[in-house]
Structure 1
Amino acid sequence: MKINTTNHPIKSWVVLIVILGTLGGSQKIKASYNFQVEQQEVFNQYKGKIIDSNTKKELVFATIAIENSNISTVTNSEGDFSLKVPKNMEEVTVFISFLGYKTKTINLSDLKDTTLKIALETAVTALSEVNIVVPNNAELVVRETLRNKGANYFEFPTLMTAFYRETIKKRKKNVSLSEAVVNIHKTSYSSKQTDAVELYKARKSTDYSKLDTLTLKLQGGPFNTLFIDLMKYPEYVFTEETIPLYTYTFERSARINEQLIYVINFVQKEKTPNQLYKGQLFIDAKHKILTSAIYELNITDRENAARMFVKRKPAKANVYPTAVAYRVDYREKDNKWYYGYSNVMLEFKINWDDKWFNSVYSMTCEMAVTDWEKNIGKNLKGREKLRKNIILSDEAVGFSDPDFWGEYNIIEPEKSIESAIKKIQKQIKKNKIGGTVAALKP
């Protein structure tokens, strides 16, 4: 959807549409519980934690990848990761990378200690200390980067396996979790054809007792994270019409795998009447390649922002977003780049007409590509494609057994989420009727 700033306020795309509705007090939650027989395990699982070598703080969204393969995963919000690798790949090297840090290589066998902490060293240098000529115009660097997508990113269609998760928190407590393994039929970066997604497996857990009298649902599912791929879908943030509406400045440089990276700030110009974005672009200085982007919606009009993201709400509630943030990371293979990970966070308040206190919720969705191959003649039929307005929590009807995910790599859950998963699994097993359906009370 192109942005026309002359006719109407800026619109966001399909990401993070929140549906709010009253929930009857006696309503029961039904969850399907299907025992699944997984194939014989032919993989090993490795776990660890990625930290900063100086501060010892956990590094969130760090990438762990196997050398000479497409297998990878990312760390969670606590720096933990889990990596599943075929048993015939025991003698391989693992790359650990994170934006602004030196990439580290270790042997896969070193990961067998599940308490292992891997420390990365920072690799950030001030621009004034680097012997390079910095372009005078940061906006021209951004324009050149957008023009070069056909040359620097995958020019062939790919079939990607990805793990997707969406969570809802009430203040700091997790109240809902939905997860899925999906197949992404991704078209080339020079193609205008939209990517397609196929749902492979899904599961969910919701504690409605912590949701007040609300049912919160996230519309869009994996497409929320997929459309953040700025190099595939630049029109959602940068168009010929909107590029001049930002101010671009160089902040610093970083070296990643010995490549110099420009860090370019962009912010909406003053007196621009529409709600645009602000953030940072991490661009390879030599080849003008976007390696990562971190940005957020510049909320200048609370009511307009609410219309962008709230689809339905109770009559006695005023609902509006207080923060909408995005992140996308790209990975490199044979001198070509591709979408690897993205994250979306929406925080909003609910003010009730008949209550003294408001409710604060946050909704987060993230997706990580864990494997990929060239797509040779594999096309999805109409019914196999996920709808762009899918509500995953309606499709994922219950948690399955502990081996539900088989050999697929997933993002390690936070400890609080992990505890919630175990709790709901026990409830489902205890209450399952006839081995297939469980009725749970909130």
Structure 2
Amino acid sequence: MKKLLHFFLLLPFLSLAQSKTFTGTIHESGNNQPIEMVSIGVENFNVGTVTNEEGKFRITVPAKAKTLLFNHLNYKVSTYELASGKSEIDILLEPAGYDLDEIVVTSKPVDQIFSDVLNTSKKRLEKSLLINTYGREFISLNGKIVKFSDGLLDYYIKRKSGASDLFIKQSRTFKLNQTEDKSDFESRKEAIAFYDITEAMEDAYDFKAIKTLTNTKEYEFELRTKKDNAGNELEIIKIIPKPEVEKDLYIGSITYDAKTKLILEIDLKKSPEHQKYSKLYNFLIVKMKINEFAKKINFKLDGDKYVMTYSQNRINFYVKTKKSFDDTFEFVNDFVMMDYKEGEFDFDRKLRFKKKGLFEAGNNIQNEYWKTSNIILLTSKEEKIIRSFE
């Protein structure tokens, strides 16, 4: 059993010699602004990555790959033929040319449409998958990044349940140099964590964070539609907190394909107008207040393939105790799907990663995966910060 697990963990490295790496930047045609979160795939392969905030990307593809595919909800799908021989490429994407959002009047309640779309998407995702991901985690204390970790993570998702086992192949960690840090970060027990990476795929595939919104009377739902010049249609369900509800609520949208009713994007965050209702809760000896919570998940529909391509979770919270804490923490976790295999696999579950935070995986480096794997590239600002760490 262990041999089988080790074989799968080694697959990316066994094929590395038979692959090619391309780097580039994606801009919007016309204004030349960089475009972030563009999904980059390889025609006839499951390989993929996304662009960072600067529109930059790097992707390592099989030697037989011929075409790169670029997808973003707001832009026309674009392709690039790899036969040119260039390893550095620049891509210009044209806006999709969608008409302005139009409100849809329907006899069916929008909250019921919302539930139907969730169920349709969930059923398409109910399959056993081994997902090769790149994950990273930024931890900030009082507005300053103090820890960074990243790694190559394999999630084995079981059919129907959505639960998954996490196996970490490689990882690295950085932290602020303690000799220069006057905040005594370690003594503040920063291990407080609200996001469990072992549940990241289950959370994304089971729509846990948004399911409950359809079962409450605290929100209104508005259905909108927009078409591009080619006749492709998207439908958007706007999640709108009721202004009269004096609670800390969320605001956001669910974008899905009008024909298949499959979700393409989830964008959810705390409502700024309801922020004033956020409370400081008492948990025994700890007082806590959640300042911000945001979730973004992107899915890709490619022929009969429907998979998650990117997920980000951000939580900012204030903690106060009598002795140790009077601080604001922020955790940001990003995951990008690099490759996936469908089927049933037999893994040694004793090798599962069971801790909550990626930083706890420590340093386990067999090669410089951040130079070859399909990771989310660090921005110039992020690279500067990481170089200042130990």
**TM class, shorter-length:** 0.7 to 0.9
Say yes or no: does 1:323 pair with 2:288.
no
Distance 2:62 2:305 in 1: 25
Report deviation, 1:122: 3.7
Query: 2:6 matched to which residue of 1?
Result: none
Change (3 A) 1:93 1:258: farther
Distance 1:220 1:385 in 2: 17
Answer yes or no: is the 8 Å Cα contact 1:219–1:392 preserved in 2: no
Distance 2:239 2:327 in 1: 32
Say yes or no: does 1:164 pair with 2:130.
no
Paired letter, 1:93: T
Paired letter, 1:391: G
Say yes or no: does 1:363 pair with 2:338.
no
Aligned pairs for 1:221-236 (under 5 A) are 221-223=196-198, 225-229=200-204, 232-236=205-209
55-64 or 341-350, which deviates more: 341-350
Query: 1:138 matched to which residue of 2?
Result: 110
Say yes or no: does 1:383 pair with 2:350.
yes
Query: 1:197 matched to which residue of 2?
Result: 166
CA deviation profile, 1:197-233 (whole Å, cap 9, x unmatched): 211111111114447222433464534643442xx32
Percent of aligned pairs with the same amino acid: 16
Gapped regions of structure 1 (runs ≥ 5)? 1-37, 428-442
Distance 2:203 2:228 in 1: 24
Provide runs of 4+ in structure 1 moved above 6 Å: 350-354
Answer yes or no: is the 8 Å Cα contact 1:164–1:179 preserved in 2: yes
Query: 2:72 matched to which residue of 1?
Result: 98
Query: 2:8 matched to which residue of 1?
Result: none
CA deviation profile, 1:263-296 (whole Å, cap 9, x unmatched): 2111233555664432111022222221111001
Report deviation, 1:336: 4.0
SS at match of 1:112: coil
404-413 or 194-203, which deviates more: 404-413
Query: 1:403 matched to which residue of 2?
Result: 368
Q: Give the TM-score of the pair, scaled to structure 1.
A: 0.71
Tell me which of 360, 374, 378 is aligned to 1:394.
360
SS at match of 2:76: coil
Query: 1:149 matched to which residue of 2?
Result: 121
Distance 1:351 1:200 in 2: 36
Answer yes or no: is the 8 Å Cα contact 1:162–1:184 preserved in 2: yes
SS at match of 1:121: coil
Gapped regions of structure 2 (runs ≥ 5)? 1-12
Paired letter, 2:360: D
Say yes or no: does 1:66 pair with 2:42.
yes
Aligned pairs for 1:272-291 (under 5 A) are 272=245, 275-291=248-264
CA deviation profile, 1:114-155 (whole Å, cap 9, x unmatched): 362433424332244x9xx7535422321221232355x144
Change (3 A) 1:110 1:422: farther
Answer yes or no: is the 8 Å Cα contact 1:163–1:409 preserved in 2: yes
Report deviation, 1:85: 1.1
Query: 2:82 matched to which residue of 1?
Result: 108
Report deviation, 1:408: 2.9
Answer yes or no: is the 8 Å Cα contact 1:168–1:174 preserved in 2: yes
Report deviation, 1:83: 0.3
Q: Give the TM-score of the pair, scaled to structure 2.
A: 0.80
Query: 2:383 matched to which residue of 1?
Result: 418
Query: 2:151 matched to which residue of 1?
Result: 180
Say yes or no: does 1:248 pair with 2:224.
no
